[in-house]
Structures are given as structure tokens and as C-alpha cells.
Copies of this chain bind each other. A is one copy, B any other.
């Protein structure tokens, strides 16, 4: 296994609602493949929105599940102010604040939102994890 992730697929209850949320967050849906799925080119990886039941069916598993997913995505910002801006935008887009912006235990600024389907995103500014112009993030030496 090479050190990479290709696609992050978020199972959604309402694909149109999920698409509206991420569009309102400023992402552009891939125009080429739109039948029952939404793809977003996110730098070198792909974000996919796919009906939750279809995802479970594709994996051959029971679609039932509730409570905490056990997974969080993180969007690291280029400034502390951007943490607040992204969280505000998430609310305007139809998401909810899970944890308001504040000081992180590791020293930076952090908050969490849930997207319109309930998926958990941390929004964090961590000056020790540099972000390149192309959006890639690097662990410190």
C-alpha cells in the first residue's frame, strides 16, 4: 500500500441536499460524472457524495448505523480567522456547529461542524503543519 488515499466517500441520505451544502461551501462539483453521485476534485484526492444505502450495498454490508461515525475530516486553514469564517459559512450552507471555535488542546484554533448529512469536519489552524500553495499539508519534521 502506497502512502495515499484516493477517495473519501461520504454516504448521504439526500444527495441533492448534500450537493447544495458543498456548493454553498464553495466547492465545484465535477461536471463529467453526475449520475447518482457527486465528485469533487480536492487537490490530489477525490471527495465523493453517494447515497448511504448504495454505499452499503456496494460494500455488501448492512446500511444500519447510528450515533458517532468514529471518523472526522479536517480542513486546516491558513489563518486563525479563517477557522471562524469557515464555520460560519458551514452554518449558512445548512450545516450545524458541533463545537464552536476555540483554543485546541494542541495550541491552535479549532472548531467542528456537521455537514447537512451529519458528517463531522474539524476546521483547524495549526501553524506547525504547513499548507502549500496547492493546498497540500505536511507533517512537521
Contacts of A11 in B (CB 8 A): 68, 70-72
Please give, as numbers and ranges, the residues of chain B lying within 8 Å of A52 by CB-CB distance. 68, 70
B28 and A59 form a contact (CB under 8 A): no
Count of residues in A whose CB is under 8 Å from the partner chain:
74
A34-58 CB contacts (< 8 Å) to partner B: 39-48, 52, 55-56, 58
Inter-subunit contact B137/A46 (CB<8 Å)? yes
**Contact indicator A39/B139 (Cβ below 8 Å):** yes
- A68 and B62 contact, CB distance less than 8 A: yes
> What are 14 pairs between A and B in contact, CB < 8 Å?
A2-B26, A3-B40, A4-B135, A5-B42, A6-B137, A7-B73, A7-B74, A11-B72, A43-B136, A58-B99, A60-B112, A65-B65, A65-B69, A66-B67
